[in-house]
Amino acid sequence: MNTRVYLNEWFINAGIIGFLRILKHNEQDFVIIKDNYIEFDTNNIKDFHKYYFKYFFDKYNIAQKMENRIEKSFNKIESLLQNKEQKDTLKQEKKSIKEILKKQLDKIKKIDEETYEEMFEEYSRIDKVSTSEELKQIKDNLIHNFKKEYINKKITLNLFKNILSKNCFGQQSFLNVVKNSLPYEEQENIMYKDYISNIIEMETLQEIVAGKYSIEEIKEKLEQKISDESIYKDIKDIYTKINKNFVRKNKTINEISNFINNEALNTCSMCGKEHCTTSAYTEGNFIPLAVSSENMKNFFWEQNINIQICDICKLILFCIPAGVTNIIKTAKENGKYIEKEILSFVNYDTSVENLLKTNNSFGIESKKERTQYNPYADLILDIINQNAKVSEWQLKNIFVVEFESEYLAYSRMEYFNIKSYVAKLFTKYPEMLTNIKDYKYRIQVVDYLLKDKDIDKLVNQRLRDAISNKNNTTDSYLATKVKVTLQVLKKGEVLMNDEVKSANKQIGLMYAIGQEIKETLKRQNNDNKLDGYIYKMLNCIKTNNRNEFTDVAIRILWSMGKDVPQILVKNNENVEWQELGHSFIAGLSSNIINNKGDKDNG
């Protein structure tokens, strides 16, 4: 039976991407990918439960991760054993790897006491190890035991079950903790029964409706199906009713067909598909999107909690964890900065292929060691770099969702998209960002743009750091140009390009004047003379004290025989005094004198 799954809301799209990733990981290519939907024969997903388990097993493979961690740590210990002066470092490294091992040993103890005792003996030798030979023996024995198939299968399965249960599905199906004692393969079969069997059995119901079987053939087929333990109870109930109320009572095939179409099958509230097997949508389908319906009827219109979801959508939602990206973000909680793992998905109005490519790229970028920066900044820059003709409309419609949840505790979900004026900046003035040389600083600027935060604060701190470390301040000037351009674009005027040029010319003038003063002082070997004034001006900008800033700036200009630009003392339509101030300071602090053209053309 061929079925199609169309791009829809973000959670369906995330499920589609997860579905495709699981199949690719298992080298299955039976899905036809079209512009806005995927299509496949449902008979091809009879082994999808095995594909699903393999995907998450390989992703969280404890034996592989422990082997890598042990190799890395023991190599470091071996190196430190040769250096008698680093006893404290050696002691700390041994303590660190022992803490990691202990967590896994506690799990293994519940599975195999004998293996645990053997590993614990090796674990206990780590503190006293003094030779490379001893170290290698301990390492090899530990890795060997971690790789025992029944050990690795059990602890890895329990790990990914816990992650899926906690973040997405609660205690559904094989994720229920009471199933933990069952063998790996039996838990796979539970997934087949709960998530796949109904989809497979729909073909039988459709064939009955289409008149493919005689009454005798229907009777024989139903007897087989009802006794099949791998079929989900809901579909078995339908088979039982057909057998009891129609076949045994010698009803016609037309009467059976009417029952199937009008009573047994429903319409999916999620995808709108008619005549399909459905179940009530609950938090178990995807925790971040649902409440416990039975306990919170007052959340629903007229307390109607009968929201039906078809089995295809149910399976697609179950693939969401494979479709989203794990990102690490720094957040402030209880006055302290901590690193948190968040699940995220990037959605926008594009084809299935492009959506897959974008989220795959996002997944790669998120693994880089940049936890202090917005991971979406790389993504946006990557999209623009890949497609120079990317439209403002496409960027405006990029929709990012972040969520974190814990079963029976909380669920938090945040959305954001790219505002119209930010999309204009990316598409019409991309060079303003790409000209910023420091990649990390460029990412920070994009981060501020996406979050609609005030770039002035970023520029002010960057200038302080650059002056303290005697680094180049050109990037701060370029970031100020971004801020000024953004202010013009927010107005959305028809002649915005002229306005952008005019605004940038004004801050370019202040930057160029600052550079000229810097150059003059440098020739006089007196270029540190203004440090005190510069910090004072930065403080004035930070505290929004325009009068004092202007007084200090005028004092500097007069002392160098410069006229006071009118833009410094008058209000300007598209440029705030803070941007003029930052540009002036960037010029005064610059190490490279090569932008004098800004004085004339911005």
Cβ-contact 243, 256 below 8 angstroms: no
At 293, list the tokens. Answer: 């319906």
Q: How many CA atoms lie within 13 A of 488 on its CB side?
A: 25
Q: What percent of the chain has pLDDT over 90?
A: 55
Cβ-contact 402, 413 below 8 angstroms: yes
DSSP string, 64-98: HHHHHHHHHHHHHHHHHHT-GGGHHHHHHHHHHHH
Cβ-contact 164, 56 below 8 angstroms: yes
More confident residue, 391 or 313: 313
Please state the rounded mean pLDDT for residues 350-365: 87
More confident residue, 347 or 406: 347
Please state the rounded mean pLDDT for residues 219-246: 93
Residue 563 per-residue DSSP state: P
Please state the rounded mean pLDDT for residues 222-244: 93
Given CA atoms 112, 115, 118, 121 in this order, what sign does their dihedral have? negative
Place of tokens 């991971």: 375
Strand partners, 337: 332
Range list of β-strands (E), 264-398 = 278-280, 308-310, 325-333, 336-347
More confident residue, 368 or 354: 354
Q: Residue 140: what pLDDT?
A: 96
Please state the rounded mean pLDDT for residues 441-453: 81
Cβ-contact 405, 477 below 8 angstroms: no
Helix (H, G, I), strand (E, B) or coil at 37: strand
Strand partners, 327: 342
Please state the rounded mean pLDDT for residues 494-505: 82
Poorest-pLDDT segment among 8-22, 335-349, 531-545, 561-575: 335-349
Which spans in 110-183 are helix H?
113-125, 132-146, 149-164
User: What residues does each domain of the chain span?
Assistant: 60-151, 327-419, 454-602
Residue 564 per-residue DSSP state: P
Give the contacts of 295 (CB within 8 A, at least 6 positions apart): none
Taking only the tens place, the pLDDT of each residue in 298-346 is 666 666 667 899 999 999 999 999 999 988 765 546 656 566 788 999 9
Strand partners, 522: none
Please state the rounded mean pLDDT for residues 283-288: 85
More confident residue, 316 or 290: 316
Residue 240 in this model has a pLDDT that exceeds 50: yes
Q: Residue 408: what pLDDT?
A: 64
Q: How many CA atoms lie within 13 A of 304 on its CB side?
A: 6
Of 377, 397, 399, the residue nearest 329 (C-alpha): 377
- Reported residue count of the chain is 602
- The type of residue at 571 is N
Q: Residue 371: what pLDDT?
A: 43
- Its pTM stands at 0.77
Q: Residue 293: what pLDDT?
A: 58
Taking only the tens place, the pLDDT of each residue in 64-80 is 999 999 999 999 999 99
Q: What strands, in cross-sheet order, belong to the sheet with 37-41?
A: 2-6, 37-41, 32-33
- The type of residue at 511 is Y
Q: What strands, in cross-sheet order, belong to the sheet with 410-417?
A: 325-333, 336-347, 399-406, 410-417
Cβ-contact 480, 583 below 8 angstroms: yes
Residue 237 per-residue DSSP state: H
Q: How many CA atoms lie within 13 A of 19 on its CB side?
A: 28
Give the contacts of 2 (CB within 8 A, at least 6 positions apart): 39, 40, 41, 42
State the average pLDDT for the chain.
87
